[in-house]
């Protein structure tokens, strides 16, 4: 049975944040390996560092990417900090000796052109003559797990629309460093890579790298050119008006759990878009790579929230608490400390199981501090009415029991039940929506603060009568 060796090439430039499209492809590459392992075949997953262009490199970015992959359950046979099977570094910047040897091998075959600056180019025309028996009409055959058997043209065309020609392409810079179209097939061949995952925008690179592979005698590779995540205009998804930059870290800080993000990305690769995947293994064990499609690739915040709800249902109390504290720390460190030091307050949110991604501000989960009211709303008027009727009677009273004396509470009974509860919540928390009233009362009673909340509302009423409606008056 065919073994599967796949890899990711990590370029530590630009940002330590993992773009969703990049992460999605890396997960797909790992899923190939896990599928092989789960079906009884040998599978190896390798990470190398593509750092031949040293401008703006930051090694800490690499560490950030690797930490994220570890967090989501990706296991490597080798990382860039290890060695390949021949004892060589997996940092491309440290593999120059290998590249020099392979360049010399191509030179002896007459496949290298050089200019006066020292730059080197692959001689496409010479390749077409020497390996003519491998293709017909300048077209090489490759195998793609999604697209099947394909033919790719080794010729290139100029931007001006001129006829395709066998132009040489650069493989070494004048400063002696090597370019991706050369280093990638050399490394894949040296590391025994059998399957290579890419997004379809990289399809134009295949011909050049296939020529290098063939000329150096490396075994054939099977490709998987996956469709990418796109926005509403059908372009590469890079940002969202609600979430901002389309990165894993940004989604985490927005309140989405790691499992929700990974499940969403997996579902966007194949299968029903709202199907929740508990792990990469649960996806990899049943995926049919030949049937991957592009129908789920348009980014949907609504579908992501569906995965978030499913992930929250899967969490135990300890995991949910950890998720909540992590989000609170990113948005409001002071309040995160308060949550961490107040188990009873933290327990309010754990019992609520609010969808964490709905918290556009940390204050929206702060039942003790967020008390901004605006305008002469019906809810405020209702709350004032309830306050006048029940002043001094709230402590220890179940709210449902307030309906038991119809004559006494006739004004309240005339309200819709939804308005009644909304008004009570406004009276206690300053919000018309939020945690359940029983949770609010339980918390304030445990702190001996229920009386203070009633007094604060009385103060709010007096301020409102003076026209001061948009200041935070609750303690």
Is the pLDDT confidence value at 122 over 90?
Answer: yes
> What number is the average pLDDT over the span 86-108?
94
**For residue range 368-417, what is the model confidence (pLDDT) as tens digits?**
433 333 333 455 555 655 555 555 444 444 444 544 554 555 555 555 55
What class has domain 378-465? mainly alpha
The pLDDT of 286-305, averaged and rounded, is 85
Question: What single-letter DSSP state applies at residue 163?
Answer: P
pLDDT tens digit sequence for 257-280: 899 999 999 999 888 899 999 999
What confidence score (pLDDT) does residue 54 get?
67
> Domain spanning 1-92+227-314: which CATH class is it, in words?
alpha beta
- Residue of higher predicted confidence among 51 and 458: 51
Checking DSSP bridges between strand 139-144 and strand 222-226, what pairing results, if any?
Answer: parallel
Locate 302 and state its tokens: 């609504």
pLDDT at 160 over 70: no
* Number of C-beta neighbours around residue 29 at 10 A: 22
User: Is the pLDDT at 209 greater than 90, yes or no?
Assistant: yes
CA distance 211 to 223: 15
What's the pLDDT score for residue 106? 97
Instruction: Judge whether residue 328 has pLDDT over 90.
Output: no
Please state which of the ranges 141-145, 361-365, 466-470 shows the lowest mean pLDDT. Answer: 361-365
Residue 153: predicted pLDDT: 86
- Mean pLDDT across the chain: 80
Q: Which percentage of the chain shows pLDDT scores above 90? A: 43
Q: Please state the rounded mean pLDDT for residues 34-46.
A: 94
Query: Could you tell me the CA-to-CA distances from 142 to 147, 183, 223 in Å, in that order?
Result: 10, 20, 8
Give the model's pLDDT for residue 402.
Answer: 47
Q: What residues pair up with 46 in beta bridges, in sequence order?
A: 7, 78
- pLDDT of residue 466 exceeding 90: no
Q: What is the pTM of this model?
A: 0.74
Span 324-333, average pLDDT: 79
Please state, in angstroms and rounded to a whole number, the distance separating the CA atoms of residues 325 and 336: 6
pLDDT value for 67: 94
């Amino acid at each position: 049975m065919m073994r599967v060796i796949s890899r990711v090439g990590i370029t530590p430039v630009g940002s330590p944040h993992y773009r969703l499209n990049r992460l999605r492809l890396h997960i797909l590459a790992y899923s190939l390996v896990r599928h092989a392992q789960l079906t009884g075949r040998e599978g190896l997953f390798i990470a190398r560092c593509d750092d031949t262009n040293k401008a703006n490199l930051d090694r800490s970015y690499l560490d950030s990417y690797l930490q994220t992959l570890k967090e989501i359950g990706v296991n490597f046979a080798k990382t860039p900090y290890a060695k390949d099977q021949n004892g060589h570094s997996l940092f491309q910047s440290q593999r120059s000796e290998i590249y020099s040897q392979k360049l010399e091998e191509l030179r002896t075959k007459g496949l290298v052109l050089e200019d006066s600056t020292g730059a080197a180019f692959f001689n496409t025309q010479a390749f077409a003559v020497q390996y003519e028996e491998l293709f017909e009409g300048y077209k090489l055959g490759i195998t793609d797990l999604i697209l099947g058997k394909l033919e790719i043209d080794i010729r290139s065309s100029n931007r001006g629309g001129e006829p395709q020609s066998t132009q040489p392409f650069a493989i070494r810079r004048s400063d002696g460093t090597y370019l991706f179209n050369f280093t990638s097939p050399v490394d894949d061949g040296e590391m025994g890579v059998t399957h290579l995952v890419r997004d379809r925008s990289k399809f134009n690179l295949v011909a050049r790298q296939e020529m290098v592979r063939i000329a150096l005698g490396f075994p054939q590779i099977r490709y998987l050119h996956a469709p990418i995540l796109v926005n509403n205009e059908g372009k590469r998804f890079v940002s969202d008006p609600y979430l901002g930059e389309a990165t894993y870290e940004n989604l985490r800080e927005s309140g989405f759990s790691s499992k929700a993000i990974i499940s969403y990305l997996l579902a966007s690769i194949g299968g029903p878009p709202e199907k929740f995947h508990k792990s990469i293994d649960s996806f990899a064990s049943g995926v049919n790579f030949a049937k991957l499609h592009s129908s789920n690739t348009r980014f949907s915040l609504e579908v992501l929230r569906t995965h978030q709800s499913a992930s929250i249902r899967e969490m135990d109390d300890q995991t949910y608490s950890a998720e909540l504290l992590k989000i609170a720390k990113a948005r409001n460190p002071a309040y995160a400390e308060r949550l961490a030091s107040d188990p009873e307050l933290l327990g309010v949110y754990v019992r609520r199981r609010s969808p964490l991604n709905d918290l556009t501000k940390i204050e929206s989960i702060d039942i003790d501090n967020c008390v901004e009211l605006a305008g002469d709303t019906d809810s405020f008027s209702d709350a004032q009415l309830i306050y006048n009727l029940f002043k001094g009677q709230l402590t220890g009273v179940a709210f449902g029991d307030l309906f038991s004396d119809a004559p006494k509470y006739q004004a309240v009974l005339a309200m819709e039940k939804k308005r009644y509860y909304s008004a009570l919540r406004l009276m206690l928390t300053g919000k018309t929506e939020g945690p359940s009233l029983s949770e609010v009362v339980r918390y304030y009673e445990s702190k001996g603060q229920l009386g203070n909340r009633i007094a604060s509302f009385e103060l709010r009423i007096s301020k409102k009568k003076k026209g001061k409606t948009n200041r935070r008056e609750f303690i």
